[in-house]
Amino acid sequence: MTDREALNEFLRGVAVTIGLIGVLILFIAFISTPESPQDELESPKFKVVDQYKNCDVVRYTDPSNRYRYLLDCSNVSDGKNSAGDI
């Protein structure tokens, strides 16, 4: 075996090793991703967490998982918006 043949065989081995490592990384990335990340990102989450002056305190979780708090006074029966009394 000449030096040139040895070099070619070494380079072929390095290329196969790099290829196998790349396939392994792609496989790990594929199995570690969630099945439906778009469903979680697109669906806002609202939850009533408290009451304040006959209004519901609603916590909204936006797609970046930050909380926003809102007052929902749609259930006030006298027709007056009690949120203005705050």
pLDDT in tens, 26-62: 999 888 877 665 555 555 688 888 888 888 899 988 8
**Residue 71's beta-bridge partner residues?**
57
| SS3 call for 57 | strand
* pLDDT, the chain, mean: 81
Residues 6+ away with beta carbon under 8 Å from 56: 48, 50, 71, 72, 73, 75
Q: Give the pTM.
A: 0.40
Compute the average pLDDT of residues 50-76: 85
Q: Is the pLDDT of residue 79 over 70?
A: no
- Contact 44/54 with Cβ under 8 angstroms? no
| SS3 call for 18 | helix
